[in-house]
Structure 1
């Protein structure tokens, strides 16, 4: 496990880049996985990473596992690499916006 200072910084970075609430993310994962005539069970909706992000949002920092820490680093790195202040995704559906939203980051949120 990472040391306390590093974990504190990661926790802050993760919650800075994950700007969707757990309710918003859960709803997005259900919508993004829904077919025309079916919708997955909430606990099965979305990608494994999206589900893991949702689980992390519902935890306290003291309850994090090594897997949680690994996913948090992955999410922070991915969102940071995808962010482009001069070319943020527009309101229309774009693959980049959907990828970021699956990780809990809606680039259209202030």
Structure 2
């Protein structure tokens, strides 16, 4: 997830800085919308992957029923927050992209 965050932030910063510098507000809106849509899709995908991995893979590292039960209780919270996390990373990248050219 950390590598994803860095890649998204750098890409968003570069894209937004370029279109802001050209003062092309339509491309700013399109770029922002596209990146946010990609973040939602990737966040939902990561959520599904983590939920399945944690639910079915909980017994890989332990056979203790109490630990596996605790993992299953935490799956919904951890997996459910991944879409929110990806959106937070994108907004941070967008903010830094705008701030890098003096708009934020």
- TM-score computed with the length of structure 1 as normaliser: 0.29
- TM-score computed with the length of structure 2 as normaliser: 0.30
Higher normalized helix content (fraction of residues): 2
Report 1 or 2 for greater relative contact order, CA contacts < 8 Å, sequence distance ≥ 6.
Answer: 2
